[in-house]
Chains A and B, each alone.
Chain A
Amino acid sequence: MSSSTRFHRATALGTCLLLSSVGAPSAQELAYQRATQPTLSFYGMPGLVDMPSGEMLPDAEVTALYSYYPKKQRFALGFQVTPWLYASYQYSVSEDILTEGVTRYDRAFGLAARLWTENAWRPSVIVGINDMAGTSIFASEYITATKTFQDRIKVTGGIGWGRLGSYGGFKNPLSYIDDRFETRPDTDFGEGGTFEAGQWFRGPAALFGGVEWQVNDQWTAILEYSSDAYENEVANAGYEHNTPLNFGLHFRPQPGLNIGAYALNGSTFGISASITANPKSPPFRNGRETAPPPISPRSGGTVDLAAWDLPSRQLDGQSEETIRAQVEAAFEADGIRLEGLEIDGDSARVGFTATRYNSQPQALGRASRILAAILPSEVETFVLQPLFYGQGTSSITIVRSDLEDLEAAPDRIWRSYVRAQIEDAGDLRFTDFVADAYPQQRWYARPYFAPALFDPDDPFRADFGVDIGGSYAPLPGLVLSGNYRQKLFGNRDESTRSSDSVLPHVRSDVVEYDKNGASFISHLTAEYFFRPGQNLYGRTTAGLLERMYGGVSAELLWKPIEGPLALGGELNYVVQRDFEGGFGFQDYDTVTGHVSAYYEFGGGYFGQIDAGKYLAGDYGTTLQFSRDFVNGVRLGAFATRTDVSYEDFGEGSFDKGIFLEVPFAWVSGVPSRRGFATAIRPIQRDGGARLAVRNRLYPTVKTYQDPEMRERWAGYWR
């Protein structure tokens, strides 16, 4: 007979939920999701071959697809914006589609929204609209449902309108609700780029469907009944539509990569290739940097920190200069620039700039460990003050005993966060900046890559070259900096599209800039950053502000230490630079400025509204919405409406686009404060154009505050 022994430990699972997300999928679970996740259609939407399916991708998935069949190519970018909403941006190149001998370049925007998730009895159901703002050659609307059987077979059925109602069409069932659904009106596309809601779900409808069989983790076979008659292609491009049946075969050599081959309508072969990635899953999770030094206790243990060039005992009784020199050297070795250190009784106040870590909590953690190893034992609190161009941001108070106590606590992330006090540092001053903290200087030369997209003569052009520049900061807050962009090779100057804009050519002369000044001074400025008061941040910039404008710019931001809302304002007087890229100017000058509201909705959703006067003198508003991932990846979209009419604006009707930011740390696993950012506009015109001044305050200030500090606090221990 044996009795059972059960160990009990004091684990407060309930409280630790503060900072944890129980139920995140494990890697095994993620691998399974990736193996069974939906394939993409020719349009880059979740789908079969040409038809949409009733599925969504995993939340936050980002896709890029290229598809080809004779006389048609398509590039598509997709993003699973929320678990129930997928957005797609498509660029199609179609030969002869409307007129023989004429190649069309169409941009299309599509959305698919999930109405119901799949469960044991019910399929997943989606309503979608494709090409909702384009020239409507590819426009379709649909409701589609997909049910999975035995994890290997998926059956899809749906009803479509527009292109998807063109084969086997019947009277629109919605016309029983309202007669006007019976016919699909022709629309005057005007300048394009506006929502053609007048067409949606109108005209004949048709049924489509298909079956996917996942043979194994790598291969999927697809049979599809298509309701797209390819009317334009048959009429103008010699396309043969022999059967509504399409066949497809998908090969997934590794998760995230998909290659497809298709037989279309009994006459044509097509291929596609797509890659998918998820901002939630960086390739090197938790980073590749070496481990931080263990926390050096003041009593009750021993450490050997020689590997970090740190003393294994605190510097008790040493002079402040010796201590400061040690801290400075150890900070420097860990990518932290010490700017001020004052020890007052049992408290040490430390000002520093993180030059390596893009996670502020990680820089705080590293700094805390170094201080614990060096500072005399009587120092009990560390007041950490990360600086932004020499100006105070937040002040984080760490109790040294807490640090010592929590090193091995399993739930130390939230426990250390709740014990750290985070406050506004205000307009802080160090009576004694570290001797060589100022002046600071930095020089660099690094490669650049500057693409120019969507010119119908050549949809993809780019320049490559070297950025050479540097910065010099004589005093805290004051930065003199410049950058020269030396083109090495590229073809952006080959464009022949001159601007036909009726507005002042505030942006549309980009081709002239590319032709006449392929190498140029991209900025040469004096900037001053300051703290006008509690929760207030200020910036002034003067000089050559950006490629096309020089002048002066002033910004003020109100951002409390916590809370979702921030407000700001910016006022600029600018003169348009000449095309050559030196110090010359053109005749055009203007005053431009905006008031801005920034709002964190929670869960990583972010919105921004800017209202004011734009470069061409037009008044209006920009709306921006993005999904900001804690690790620094951002994806979003923006649109600007001003008092410029669609006709005056020209092609596209109003300014809009999508943007993407990816930190190098996400890609490489190596801590870095640099990253890659790009905005993709269907077309850049002169209406709704904003100045692109550097170092706008909000994106930087928020990294020193909650909620970002809280969300990244795990980094404190990394």
Chain B
Amino acid sequence: MKLIKPAALSVLVLTLTGCDEYTDRLDRLAGLEESEGFSIPVPADGSRPVLMDAGLEKFGSSEGLVRISSRGPIEIWRAEEGDTLTLRQGIVLGTRAFTPDLFSVEAALPSQWMDATRPATAERIHRYVDGLEQVYIRAYSCVFSETSRDELPLGAETLQLNRTDEDCYNATQSFTNSYWMNGSGQMVLSRQWLGPELGYLLLKHYLP
């Protein structure tokens, strides 16, 4: 997993101190009051393709991601150091080169749960590949919360975000994924659980 870069982290924090207010506020929304070094390394000249920011909470560092594949609703994003993330409507469908990976995900999509009557429930299926290169499956029951409002002050404006929590559990594990969408239904921020080793991934999604 190259998102973990203890050495690079300090450099990142040093070079990007005082960075963008927007991402600090996103951190606060995600419950990371101290911001913990999360930041979006946006190139000022816009020379790079669209960027998203991803960080694993337990390692406290983050990296910018570039979109390298867009096929219908499915996108693949790549970090500079060579790991990739597959997304659909902002939902993580899998990781590659995270060591270990979340091989694949079957989960309800925002278009399915956003306007659904509550309580809304769905199954979520994670597939992993074990040390003997065999697939094992973890299935969860998930409940989607009522949408709540979060405000994101941004300069003179205030963004209104809708927060939905997906509470998932099975006999031995439980976790809560959180999604923040803007008024037009685009995911702005999310916190998604990848598995017991990797923990939560915090994504600051690309906004056109």
Residue of chain B at shortest CB distance from A295: B69
Q: Are B136 and A22 in contact (CB under 8 A)?
A: yes
Complex Cα gap A411–B118 (Å): 30
Q: Are A280 and B133 in contact (CB under 8 A)?
A: no
Which of the candidate stretches A236-244, A476-484, A709-717 sits at the interface with the other chain? A709-717
Contact of B173 among A7, A26, A718 (CB under 8 A): A26
Q: Are B83 and A280 in contact (CB under 8 A)?
A: no
Instruction: Tell me the minimal C-beta distance from B158 to chain A in angstroms.
Output: 30
Q: Are B132 and A629 in contact (CB under 8 A)?
A: yes
Q: Is residue A289 within 8 Å, beta carbon to beta carbon, of the partner chain? A: yes
Q: Are B121 and A280 in contact (CB under 8 A)?
A: no
Complex Cα gap A61–B112 (Å): 45
Q: Are A281 and B131 in contact (CB under 8 A)?
A: yes
Q: Are B134 and A285 in contact (CB under 8 A)?
A: no
Q: Are B130 and A307 in contact (CB under 8 A)?
A: no
Q: Are A410 and B68 in contact (CB under 8 A)?
A: no
Q: Are B134 and A291 in contact (CB under 8 A)?
A: no
Complex Cα gap A448–B17 (Å): 48
Complex Cα gap A717–B71 (Å): 17
Complex Cα gap A289–B98 (Å): 9
Complex Cα gap A212–B122 (Å): 45
Residue of chain A at shortest CB distance from B78: A307
Q: Are B104 and A304 in contact (CB under 8 A)?
A: no
Complex Cα gap A288–B68 (Å): 20
Which residues of chain B have C-beta atoms less than 8 A from A281's C-beta? Answer: 131
Which residues of chain B have C-beta atoms less than 8 A from A279's C-beta? Answer: 131
Instruction: Tell me the minimal C-beta distance from A127 to chain B in angstroms.
Output: 29
Complex Cα gap A285–B102 (Å): 11
Q: Are A2 and B96 in contact (CB under 8 A)?
A: no
Q: Is residue A642 within 8 Å, beta carbon to beta carbon, of the partner chain? A: no
Q: Are B132 and A292 in contact (CB under 8 A)?
A: no
Which residues of chain A have C-beta atoms less than 8 A from B18's C-beta? Answer: none
Q: Are A7 and B113 in contact (CB under 8 A)?
A: yes
Q: Is residue A636 within 8 Å, beta carbon to beta carbon, of the partner chain? A: no
Q: Are A410 and B131 in contact (CB under 8 A)?
A: no
Q: Are A304 and B66 in contact (CB under 8 A)?
A: yes
Complex Cα gap A493–B125 (Å): 60
Q: Are B135 and A294 in contact (CB under 8 A)?
A: no
Which residues of chain B have C-beta atoms less than 8 A from A712's C-beta? Answer: 133
Residues 83-98 of B, flagged 1 when their CB comes within 8 A of A and 0 if not, give 1101010000100111
Q: Are B131 and A715 in contact (CB under 8 A)?
A: no
Q: Is residue A318 within 8 Å, beta carbon to beta carbon, of the partner chain? A: no
Which residues of chain B have C-beta atoms less than 8 A from A412's C-beta? Answer: 104
Contact of B100 among A280, A286, A629 (CB under 8 A): A286
Q: Are A718 and B66 in contact (CB under 8 A)?
A: no
A17-42 interface (Cβ within 8 A of B): 19-24, 26-29
A291-B82, A410-B127 known; A714-B122 Cβ under 8 A: no
Q: Is residue B21 within 8 Å, beta carbon to beta carbon, of the partner chain? A: no
Residues 105-147 of B, flagged 1 when their CB comes within 8 A of A and 0 if not, give 1101000110011111111010101111111111100000000
Which residues of chain B have C-beta atoms less than 8 A from A669's C-beta? Answer: 99
Q: Is residue B33 within 8 Å, beta carbon to beta carbon, of the partner chain? A: no
Instruction: Tell me the minimal C-beta distance from B76 to chain A in angstroms.
Output: 5
A259-304 interface (Cβ within 8 A of B): 278-282, 284-295, 297, 300-304
Contact of B70 among A16, A29, A301 (CB under 8 A): A301
Q: Is residue B5 within 8 Å, beta carbon to beta carbon, of the partner chain? A: no
A4-B119, A20-B134, A715-B133 known; A11-B106 Cβ under 8 A: yes
Contact of B134 among A297, A307, A409, A714 (CB under 8 A): A714
Q: Is residue A120 within 8 Å, beta carbon to beta carbon, of the partner chain? A: no
Complex Cα gap A7–B141 (Å): 11
Which residues of chain A have C-beta atoms less than 8 A from B122's C-beta? Answer: 6-7
Contact of B99 among A284, A293, A304 (CB under 8 A): A284
Q: Is residue A446 within 8 Å, beta carbon to beta carbon, of the partner chain? A: no
Q: Are B72 and A301 in contact (CB under 8 A)?
A: yes
Q: Are A29 and B172 in contact (CB under 8 A)?
A: yes
Contact of A288 among B78, B97, B119, B172 (CB under 8 A): B97
Which residues of chain B have C-beta atoms less than 8 A from A715's C-beta? Answer: 133
Residue of chain B at shortest CB distance from A293: B68
Residue of chain B at shortest CB distance from A28: B196
Residue of chain B at shortest CB distance from A404: B71
Q: Is residue A427 within 8 Å, beta carbon to beta carbon, of the partner chain? A: no
Q: Is residue A5 within 8 Å, beta carbon to beta carbon, of the partner chain? A: yes
Q: Is residue B74 within 8 Å, beta carbon to beta carbon, of the partner chain? A: yes
Q: Are A2 and B76 in contact (CB under 8 A)?
A: no
Residue of chain A at shortest CB distance from B98: A286
Contact of B137 among A4, A22, A718 (CB under 8 A): A22
Q: Are A286 and B99 in contact (CB under 8 A)?
A: yes
Most buried by A among B105, B113, B120: B120
Most buried by A among B97, B113, B135, B136: B135
Which residues of chain A have C-beta atoms less than 8 A from B103's C-beta? Answer: 413, 714, 717
Q: Is residue A82 within 8 Å, beta carbon to beta carbon, of the partner chain? A: no
Q: Are A286 and B132 in contact (CB under 8 A)?
A: no
Which residues of chain B have C-beta atoms less than 8 A from A22's C-beta? Answer: 136-137
Q: Are A21 and B67 in contact (CB under 8 A)?
A: no
Q: Is residue A589 within 8 Å, beta carbon to beta carbon, of the partner chain? A: no
Q: Is residue B205 within 8 Å, beta carbon to beta carbon, of the partner chain? A: no
Which residues of chain A have C-beta atoms less than 8 A from B20's C-beta? Answer: none
Instruction: Tell me the minimal C-beta distance from A335 to chain B in angstroms.
Output: 14
Q: Is residue A177 within 8 Å, beta carbon to beta carbon, of the partner chain? A: no
Q: Are B104 and A411 in contact (CB under 8 A)?
A: yes
Complex Cα gap A266–B112 (Å): 71
A288-B97, A714-B133 known; A297-B71 Cβ under 8 A: yes
Q: Is residue B197 within 8 Å, beta carbon to beta carbon, of the partner chain? A: yes
Which residues of chain B have C-beta atoms less than 8 A from A717's C-beta? Answer: 103
A127-181 interface (Cβ within 8 A of B): none
Which residues of chain B have C-beta atoms less than 8 A from A304's C-beta? Answer: 49, 66-69
Complex Cα gap A299–B97 (Å): 27
Residue of chain B at shortest CB distance from A359: B133
Residue of chain A at shortest CB distance from B76: A294
Complex Cα gap A409–B103 (Å): 10
Q: Are B82 and A714 in contact (CB under 8 A)?
A: no
Which residues of chain A have C-beta atoms less than 8 A from B196's C-beta? Answer: 26-28
Which residues of chain A have C-beta atoms less than 8 A from B81's C-beta? Answer: 290
Q: Is residue B25 within 8 Å, beta carbon to beta carbon, of the partner chain? A: no
Contact of A290 among B88, B97, B101, B113 (CB under 8 A): B97
Instruction: Tell me the minimal C-beta distance from B68 to chain A in angstroms.
Output: 5
Instruction: Tell me the minimal C-beta distance from B126 to chain A in angstroms.
Output: 9
Hey, which bits of chain B sit against chain A, CB under 8 A?
2, 49, 66-72, 74, 76, 78, 81-84, 86, 88, 93, 96-101, 103-106, 108, 112-113, 116-123, 125, 127, 129-139, 172-173, 195-197
A282-B131, A408-B86 are known contacts; what are 17 more A-B pairs with Cβ within 8 Å?
Answer: A6-B120, A13-B139, A20-B135, A21-B134, A22-B136, A27-B196, A29-B172, A280-B132, A285-B131, A290-B2, A290-B83, A302-B69, A305-B68, A410-B125, A411-B104, A630-B132, A718-B129
| Shortest Cβ-Cβ A-B pairs, 7 listed | A290-B82, A301-B71, A20-B135, A294-B69, A291-B96, A410-B104, A24-B136
Pull 14 A–B residue pairs with CB atoms less than 8 Å apart, ordered by A: A4-B121, A5-B116, A13-B139, A281-B131, A285-B99, A285-B197, A288-B99, A290-B2, A294-B69, A297-B71, A410-B105, A410-B125, A414-B135, A711-B133
